[in-house]
Structure 1
Amino acid sequence: MNRGRLLLVLAAICLLSGCTEPRTAIDGGPPDGAAPGRKVEQAGEMDAVVDKGNGQVLPLPAAPAEARRFSMKTTAGAAPQTATAEMVSPIPPPTNSESYNPGRENGFVAVGNDPLSTFSIDVDTASYSNIRRFIEQGSLPPAGSVRIEEMINYFDYEYPQPEKGPFSLTLEGGPCPWQSRHRLVRIGLQAKDIDKKDLPPSNLVFLVDVSGSMNDPDKLPLLKRAMALLVEQLDGRDRVAIVAYAGSERVVLPPTAGSDRKTLLTAIDTLESGGSTHASQGIVTAYRLARQSFMPGGNNRVILASDGDFNVGVTSRGELEKLIERERQSGVFLTLLGFGEGNYHDDTMEILADRGNGNYAYIDSLLEAKKVLVKEMGQTMFALAGDVKVQVEFNPAQVAAYRLIGYENRAMADEEFNDDTKDAGEIGVGHRVTALYEVVPAGVKPPVTVDPLRYRQTAKPAGPSDELLTVKVRYKPLQQAASTMIERSLGAEGRELNQASDDFRFAAAVAAFGMRLGDSAYLNGYAYGDILELARGARGEDREGWRAEFVGLVEASELLEQTAAKHGAADGGK
């Protein structure tokens, strides 16, 4: 997020709310820890693509008027506004027809009733960048857009590379910032990193939504520039095809060598929007092309880019699930790239990613496209292992109750952990996955409303009594039907919060922010100021400036909430 833009947001909100108290300054310069000159470099480094074959400089497809939205957006057709506080409103525009799954929150589970917690990993990051988009435009996000695990997993954490096998498993415990009598446990998975030159060849099929709803600058024009960024990363071993769909689908480009950049960029530049959205037929065609060019041992993937507004053909959620589940049997993976606002259908995009052996990112700017498709290309595009599941067993001698923070739509039955026929999430090369548990120590009254089971015999703890929990991770290496398991235990720790790692404290701050946005029942009065203090003290090196950006988003959200409260009071609570 651009810090200059945050300054505009904060200043306008302050004007609207009449706030005069001093705030932490957010200037237009580089954030602490960010590389000097970062914004200048990023603003100019994507104006053209060089064809390495002949040295010819090829222009990128036409750029949107703003690669990043630096000025406040108004609803379509609104009269121009002067630079006053009226430019910012905490109320979403009335034309908004975006759709999200209902927001949910995991509750506490008594260990005496169920000592096991099982879930599939989630490597999506769409929720965080989508939330950022709302806040940048002067609105708090809808509760359904908040998925805390995706917010946490947007950021990098310093987990060790695996010494053997595809993963390392890191466990860390410490005090829970928002509930002093509780503990917080961080589980971290680090997938093996592979040098770009050693990655397998790619068979990619872009499935591009060119319907009329994709005409806005932050949709198809931005998508075309994002596609050009990815094309620059390919070589002669790779194959790229493009399928476009609106009222019907068409093959824009048959499988073409990744080194033929001029042909690829020309095909991208021809994409234009218009018509209705017949996504289901486009999905069938894209997977058919991917199967025809299938590379054994390679990276076979469909990249679906859309606003999720499917209105022709198969449009029901149930039928879309069946379609994508059927297509995933081919061994072709799926990446979802979401674009746009106003009519964005996050619920549809999330379903496709969950059911299609896929991952899901929301692209709100060219910088986000660079993060997802260039800097994190291995994570986004190259699967390392499939059906990755996590099961945590809590020691009843140490733990009275627990709750998993986030992953509400990734919960699995305990018996599914050892069932290799049950689908779970995929993890890419170099991916980091983090999960947090809030733990109620034994002897502390848990906020659980279910009475202990009357007829269940309490088992004596197995193993050392000072173990807090044991984590098991089960996964399938690519092209293998049988799973492999790793496990590790964490002892009960008594250290203070300031003794925990920067990563632990920052992940906790992100979780608390998500809980605040989602109106959590478990924050216990933990305020924006507390979140800011925790995050500022845990920024660490922050080479890319993403943690500094997060601090700015929390500040802006606090002001938006204050402004909304003042408006509500002025309106008599109506």
Structure 2
Amino acid sequence: MERRTAEHTRRHRRHARTWRGALGVLLVGGALLTGCSAGTSNGDKAATDSRGGGALPGPGPAASAGAESDGAKKQDGLRESAPPDYLSTFALDVDTASYGYARRTLADGGLPDPSTVRPEEFVNSFRQGYRRPDGNGFTVNVDGARAGDKDEDWSLVRVGLATRAAPTRDERPPAALTFVVDISGSMAEAGRLDLVKKSLDILTDELRDDDSVSLVTFSDEAETLLPMTRLRDHRGRIRERVDSMEPTDSTNVEAGIRRGYDEAVDGRVEGANNRVVLLSDALANTGETDAEAILERIGSARREHGITLFGVGVGSDYGDAFMEQLTNKGDGHTTYIADEDQARKVFVDQLPAHLELTARDAKAQVAFDPKTVKQFKLIGYEDRKVADEDFRNDRVDGGEVGPGHTVTALYAVRLRAGASGHVATATVRWLDPRTRAPHEREGTVGTDAIDGPLWDGDSKRLQVTAVAAYFAEALRGEQLPGAPGLGELSSHARKLAAGTEDESVQKLATMIGQADRLKNGPDDGGPDGTPEGELG
């Protein structure tokens, strides 16, 4: 008993010394911007929220140098190691709904609510021109440029991930799609149920004879209008069911999704891409309205049968956050359509990317070099953060990515004075959709690759990425290093539209001009928003 008590006392004293040492490091190090880190360091596990974000501050300049001053001195002369966190870890995201909804809101004469603006979805709405792999998996492309003359020590670093090119209509595997359509009263507004019907008509024309569809509608209750049916010889029947849909009562999304997954499981087609497609304004007001609880109730259909969820949002009043949560939890992604042109883009041009998966639970981790990097900030991805130590934990959810997709992460990076050499290594990890075998690829970037001026450089696609990110941050009332005002940003976008001959960039320029006018001035007038905190 005495030996156990003495041992307990010694352990307690060691623990107390360790705690005092760690506390000393935090006090000496000063404040590190929590947004600079996507998770926790390997040395000190910080408290995180359910998405794995929110690290404690790391130590300051003395600790980062890796010299004897690293850590806090213990009474016996040894030092407790507490390295700062130079890792940024997040789940991949191919959603674009935030950008589409902002475009609709601005066109209607209003500014989007800052809470609905997700910069990564603005960036991922544009072509990037990355090199693609020949087979399944990813290429990792890393580049960048100096942010601007007034912030010469800041650069933008772009981490670009690309899957193989999307197959043609005839090359892709067959599809088995269960459409879950919101016919609640709110869908009566022009541009909602009528646009959904038009979208389904477009899709019915685009699908092949060996594809299959089922149709579920929901308001206060759910109803199956069409069980899983092969399109061959049944296109007229499908159109009749679509045309019969009329808006009725309240919005019980839970009932619709549960019935939809039941139909998807019952009609599952072996060897096909089986997917539930939810078309809704996502304004749930009846039944279960918590996204995680809804998906948990149909968890076996997702886990055992591999049926994923694709969300298509409509309507000027749109439950953006709810739809995003549903699709994130449902191993899928979401987009937004405001008109027939966007419907054709989603259901014709991009259809293979929305149907097929090339990667499950995909995550990225960017390791910055403390010898060259003083500060960094990941732009966006707040809802997709993953704890650093869970990067290779394949039980932790990542993102699902299809063929033809690109995923871009943009960082604001402040280099050390006179820095030269390696800046960062980016690694992507994913699971094979069929075998669940893990794979990884990585890419690196050095100071020479991010030293050129942004606006005078040759990479027009990098400039488009910067414009989209700067615009999103301005809509959120924030500003990144080197960010021009909205008037100048609109000018950059117009020049890029002419230089790339890309209609989508012209639409971006129009959006920025609309926002500029609504904010009454050439500049957005926001705070300087410079990321705070030293990485060491």
Q: Given the alignment of the two structures, is residue 148 of structure 1 paired with residue 122 of structure 2, yes or no?
A: no
Contact 1:420–1:481 under 8 Å retained in 2: no
Contact 2:196–2:279 under 8 Å retained in 1: yes
Q: Which residue in the other structure is 1:510 paired with? A: 468
- Aligned counterpart for 1:225 among listed residues 198, 214, 225: 198
Cα 1:144–1:107 shift into 2, 3 Å: farther
Give the 3-state SS of the residue equivalent to 2:197 in structure 1: helix
1:216 deviation in Å? 1.1
What's the TM-score once normalised by structure 2's chain length?
Answer: 0.78
Cα 1:205–1:519 shift into 2, 3 Å: same
What's the TM-score once normalised by structure 1's chain length?
Answer: 0.73
Q: Which residue in the other structure is 2:241 paired with? A: 267
Q: Given the alignment of the two structures, is residue 374 of structure 1 paired with residue 348 of structure 2, yes or no?
A: yes
Write the distance in 1 (CA, Å) between the matches of 2:436 and 2:458: 39
1:215 deviation in Å? 0.7
- Aligned counterpart for 2:478 among listed residues 520, 526, 542: 520
Contact 1:239–1:256 under 8 Å retained in 2: yes
Q: Given the alignment of the two structures, is residue 546 of structure 1 paired with residue 504 of structure 2, yes or no?
A: yes
Q: Which residue type is aligned with residue 557 of structure 1?
A: A
Cα 1:182–1:488 shift into 2, 3 Å: same
Give the 3-state SS of the residue equivalent to 1:128 in structure 2: helix
Q: Which residue type is aligned with residue 426 of structure 2?
A: V
- Aligned pairs, how many? 443
Cα 1:303–1:108 shift into 2, 3 Å: farther
Cα 1:268–1:109 shift into 2, 3 Å: farther
Q: Which residue type is aligned with residue 474 of structure 1?
A: R
- Aligned counterpart for 1:331 among listed residues 303, 306, 309: 306
Q: Which residue type is aligned with residue 508 of structure 1?
A: A
Contact 1:181–1:444 under 8 Å retained in 2: no
Cα 1:165–1:350 shift into 2, 3 Å: closer
Write the distance in 2 (CA, Å) between the matches of 1:410 and 1:469: 20
Give the 3-state SS of the residue equivalent to 2:297 in structure 1: helix
Cα 1:208–1:264 shift into 2, 3 Å: same
Identity of aligned residues (%): 32
Contact 2:488–2:522 under 8 Å retained in 1: no
- Aligned counterpart for 1:404 among listed residues 363, 378, 393: 378
Q: Given the alignment of the two structures, is residue 253 of structure 1 paired with residue 226 of structure 2, yes or no?
A: yes
Q: Given the alignment of the two structures, is residue 496 of structure 1 paired with residue 470 of structure 2, yes or no?
A: no
Q: Which residue in the other structure is 1:82 paired with? A: none
Q: Given the alignment of the two structures, is residue 136 of structure 1 paired with residue 107 of structure 2, yes or no?
A: yes
Cα 1:127–1:110 shift into 2, 3 Å: farther
Cα 1:282–1:345 shift into 2, 3 Å: same
Write the distance in 2 (CA, Å) between the matches of 1:430 and 1:444: 39
Write the distance in 2 (CA, Å) between the matches of 1:547 and 1:411: 28
Cα 1:534–1:105 shift into 2, 3 Å: farther
Contact 1:386–1:425 under 8 Å retained in 2: yes
Write the distance in 1 (CA, Å) between the matches of 2:54 and 2:312: 25
Q: Which residue in the other structure is 1:346 paired with? A: 320
Cα 1:310–1:217 shift into 2, 3 Å: same
Contact 1:106–1:405 under 8 Å retained in 2: no
1:432 deviation in Å? 1.2
Q: Which residue type is aligned with residue 281 of structure 2?
A: D
Give the 3-state SS of the residue equivalent to 1:155 in structure 2: coil
Write the distance in 2 (CA, Å) between the matches of 1:505 and 1:250: 48
Cα 1:365–1:371 shift into 2, 3 Å: same
- Aligned counterpart for 2:428 among listed residues 473, 476, 496: 473
Q: Which residue in the other structure is 1:384 paired with? A: 358
Q: Which residue type is aligned with residue 388 of structure 1?
A: A
Write the distance in 2 (CA, Å) between the matches of 1:477 and 1:297: 15
Cα 1:164–1:326 shift into 2, 3 Å: closer
Q: CA RMSD in A?
A: 2.5
Q: Which residue in the other structure is 1:120 paired with? A: 91
1:290 deviation in Å? 1.1
Unaligned runs of 5+ in 1: 1-103, 446-464, 567-574
Contact 1:171–1:188 under 8 Å retained in 2: yes
Q: Which residue in the other structure is 2:133 paired with? A: 162
Q: Which residue in the other structure is 1:310 paired with? A: 284
Q: Which residue in the other structure is 2:173 paired with? A: 200
Write the distance in 2 (CA, Å) between the matches of 1:110 and 1:227: 55
**Structure number with higher helix proportion:** 2
- Aligned counterpart for 1:482 among listed residues 432, 437, 443: 437
Give the 3-state SS of the residue equivalent to 1:383 in structure 2: coil
Write the distance in 2 (CA, Å) between the matches of 1:231 and 1:319: 32
Name the stretch that deviates more: 227-236 or 175-184: 175-184
1:297 deviation in Å? 3.0
1:359 deviation in Å? 0.9
1:213-267 deviations in Å (ceiling 9; x for gaps): 1111111011100111111111121110000111211110111112322111111
Write the distance in 2 (CA, Å) between the matches of 1:444 and 1:539: 36
